Amino acid sequence: MNQHPYLRAYMAGIVVPTLVLLLAITAFALARYAFDVPLPIERVIIFPLSLVPNLWGLWNIIYIGLLSRRLSIGAWGALLPLLLVPGGLAVTHMVGFALPRGGPLIVLPVGMVIYYLIWKHIVARLNTIVGIA
């Protein structure tokens, strides 16, 4: 089962953010169109929809290809918010989406902890299931 390990790493990496985004978009659609909650989130939703799952997949490929013997998968996953948070801030700034003051200072460390746990427990398990761990 050593055929296409990077493809399997990519597929294992995109599972979690794809499912989370599916749930988030469903909740947004219900809130926006069923309950008339005025959320102008459609201006910034393209960033997570297009980039986040692909970054997770590429992040897992880099881990499997280069770092799996030197760094724990949880620590590697905890580094990903260091790319995603500034990218998200740039997109929100470009489209004029208002964020609470000081929000990114809270989101970054909390995100790193959450990503650590997700990568350590879920992505590592998915890597084992597809036979690349």
CA separation, residue 24 to residues 20, 49, 87 (Å): 6, 10, 19
If phi > 0 it is left, if psi is from -120 to 50 it is alpha, else beta; for residue 131 that is left
Q: What is the pLDDT of residue 49?
A: 78
Q: Which of 81, 45, 63 is nearest to 123 (CA)?
A: 63
pLDDT score of 42 more than 60 = yes
Mean pLDDT of 54-71: 90
**CA 81 to CA 78: how far, in whole Å?**
7
Domains of the chain by residue range: 5-129
1 pLDDT band (50/70/90 cuts)? Answer: low
Mean pLDDT, range 13-20, rounded to an integer: 92
CA 78 to the chain's CA centroid: 11
Q: What number is the average pLDDT over the span 58-63?
A: 94
Closest CA to 47 of 105, 101, 104, 86: 86
pLDDT band (50, 70, 90) for residue 43: low
